[in-house]
Chain A
Amino acid sequence: DGGITQSPKYLFRKEGQNVTLSCEQNLNHDAMYWYRQDPGQGLRLIYYSQIVNDFQKGDIAEGYSVSREKKESFPLTVTSAQKNPTAFYLCASSISGGASSQYFGPGTRLLVL
Chain B
Amino acid sequence: GESVGLHLPTLSVQEGDNSIINCAYSNSASDYFIWYKQESGKGPQFIIDIRSNMDKRQGQRVTVLLNKTVKHLSLQIAATQPGDSAVYFCAEVYDKVIFGPGTSLSVIP
Contact = CB atoms under 8 A, between A and B. Distances in A.
Contact of A42 (B41, B43, B94, B100): B100
Interface in A54-113: 90, 98-99, 101-107, 109
In this complex, the interface size class of chain A, counting residues with CB under 8 Å from chain B, is 20 to 34
B100 to A, nearest CB: 5
A99 B31 contact: yes
A42 B93 contact: no
Interface string B32-46: 101010000111111
Interface stretch (B5-13, B53-61, B72-80): B5-13
Interface string A1-44: 00010100000000000000000000000000001000111110
Interface of A: 4, 6, 35, 39-43, 45, 90, 98-99, 101-107, 109
In this complex, the interface size class of chain B, counting residues with CB under 8 Å from chain A, is 20 to 34
Contacts of B89: 42
A41 B89 CA distance: 10
Given A98-B95, A101-B49, A40 B44 contact: no
A47 B72 CA distance: 28
B14 interface: no
A41 B98 CA distance: 12
Nearest to B89: A42
Contacts of B7: 40
